[in-house]
Amino acid sequence: MRTIEYFFATVSPYTYLAGTRLEAVAAKHGAAIEYRPLDIMALFARTGGTPPKDRHPNRQAWRLQELRRQARKLGMPMNLRPAHWPTNPAPSSYAIIAAKEAGGDVGALAHAFTRACWAEERDVADDAVIRDVLAANGFDPGLADSGLLSGAEAYARNLEDAVAKGAFGAPFYLVGEERFWGQDRIGDVDLFLAGEL
């Protein structure tokens, strides 16, 4: 079975726009997904990226237009200036890491956290929100309190592995040595797994 390493950030608008399309592609090809949440701002700092707030106004304006266009194209609701962004992605990421260990639909959970931020005006760093999202996706809300140390270690390791493996943004997908960056490259992941790229 092939594995797709999926580096993503719970506060990334492009991770939100990816939805659960990667899960559909993986199911189509019988591939597994290794969910690796990480600190996107730390990844930018390590790989030459610039945080959105520090980008030139031209780039900031383009980003807002692009997010609006992509959301509309995908039929997804999106608030371009969410009330709770930026926020600390670590707590929701730790919850995802704990959920991976518990077993269940981690893809739906990851999407629920990004949707909470970008479409529902909820703070994914807030303990009550984390518990609610866990429960709504079939996980024990107590996972928000469990494995904090191991979650922190895995979160830090995900960043190190992402840098070592060539990732520089989110969402970022790796299939073996092949790298795919952005929600608009999920179709390319599909084609690659089909042997057409």
The CATH number covering residue 35 comes to: 3.40.30.10
Are the C-beta atoms of residues 8 and 37 closer than 8 Å to each other?
yes
Q: Which amino acid is at 188?
A: D
If pLDDT is split at 50, 70 and 90, which confidence band does 97 have?
very high
Strand partners, 122: none
**CB under 8 Å to 1, separation ≥6 — which residues?**
30, 31, 32
- The 10s digit of each residue's pLDDT in 135-176 is 999 999 999 988 778 899 999 999 999 999 999 999 999 999
Total number of domains in the chain: 1
In contact, 92 and 10? CB cutoff 8 Å: yes
Residue type (1 letter), 119? A
Q: What pLDDT is recorded for position 15?
A: 98
Please give the average per-residue pLDDT across 1-18, as a whole number. Answer: 97
pLDDT score at 136? 98
What is the structure's pLDDT at 57?
Answer: 96
Residue 149 pLDDT:
82
Q: Tell me, what DSSP letter sits at residue 133?
A: H
- Given a cut of 90, is residue 18 above it in pLDDT? yes
pLDDT of the residue at 146 = 82
pLDDT tens for 38-84 read 999 999 999 999 999 999 999 999 999 999 999 999 999 999 999 99
Q: Residue 128 pLDDT more than 80? A: yes
Asked whether the beta carbons of 54 and 175 are under 8 A apart, the reply is no
Contact (Cβ atoms closer than 8 angstroms) between residue 15 and residue 183: yes
Q: In the prediction, which pLDDT does 147 show? A: 72
CB neighbourhood size of 44 (10 A): 17
Q: What is the mean pLDDT of the chain?
A: 96
Give the pLDDT of residue 150: 86
The two structure tokens encoding residue 21: 């399309």
How many percent of the chain have pLDDT more than 90?
A: 96
Domain extent at residue 138: 3-193
